[in-house]
Amino acid sequence: MSGHHEPVLLAETLRFLLAGPGLYLDATLGNGGHAEALLDAEPGARLLGCDRDPDAVVRSTLRLARFGDRVIIAPAAFHELPRVHAEMGAEPLTGALFDLGVSSPQLDDPARGMSFRADGPLDLRMDPSRGTRAAEWLAAAEPRDVAAVLREYGDVRDAGRLAQAIVAAARAGALETTADLVRVIAGRGGRPHPRRLAQVFQALRIRVNDEMGELDSALEWLPGALKPGGTVVTLAYHSGEDRRIKRTFRGPVAPVRSGVPRGLESRAPESPWHELTRKVITPSPAEEARNPRARSARLRAFRRKSS
């Protein structure tokens, strides 16, 4: 459970998230860095902290212990948030934070199989006690399904050819570790570029953990969970996540009218959200240099409308 993890875009997150005293949700506690800063900045804040990773629950529990009964921590994936919130009494939330993606401790632990940089079991699960390991899924999957995952979640070139090789290795029992997967990706061309490796590992991780489905569940639940004037901050590290967030919070686009140029269509008025970030916020060059994990972060913030 080691590994340094610096909260990404911390000052910007607090600037948009803090909305006075009340109950806040940190749906992706990780090491508890964002949560700790929030509780220090707002003495009237209480926190419901959740994470599907049991190691993260342990780390954040220790870090946030000094706040006593201001904090309740529960192991939960996004689809379980409605149940956890209801068990607490369903108090309307003042704010909610979703810091998506994978954390440094997860990447740094070879036993989790999250990274191509260290050899370990090809697992990729956020919660090692639930779901199917990546190696098991690949051994049972059809090449066309693996190719679709590589294209959609990783923008992987030659996805069809690579999927055939990956599935063949998995069915032959030759794909049990991260090093095995790196060898398959390399083929006969030596060690592949780190960007290609990262794309493949990312795509498989998203599929193994159903990260897009989990995100959709949380976004569907949020409007009824936040009080009017409550705020939501999202930190996305994948273009697919960011698109889902924009589509959900901005609401559906009104039908195109004849003569209206594409891109100038008015948005339907049904969205219950006001967008606080007119333009996506990304880390400064200084933060990227200090914290490489922040490089692809995209912060957006929204406020629940009063009516």
Give strand pairing partners of 236: 298
* 251 vs 126: which has the higher pLDDT: 126
Q: Return the bridge partners of 299, or none.
A: 235, 281
pTM, full prediction: 0.89
Percent of the chain with pLDDT over 70: 92
Most confident of 106-120, 221-235, 290-304: 221-235
DSSP state of 192: P
Q: What is the pLDDT of residue 115?
A: 86
The answer to whether residues 134 and 208 touch, using CB atoms and an 8 Å cutoff, is yes
- Please state, in angstroms and as integers, the Cα–Cα distance from residue 292 to each residue in 238, 255, 256, following that order: 15, 41, 41
Q: How confident is the model at residue 260 (pLDDT cuts 50, 70, 90)?
A: low
* E runs forming strands in 66-131: 71-75, 93-99
Give the pLDDT confidence of 43-60 residue by residue, as tens digits. 999 999 999 999 999 999
Helix ranges (H only) for 27-172 are: 33-41, 54-63, 81-87, 104-108, 134-140, 143-154, 159-171
Tell me, what's the pLDDT at 204?
97
Q: Give dist(CA 69, CA 52) in Å, integer.
A: 21
SS3 201: helix
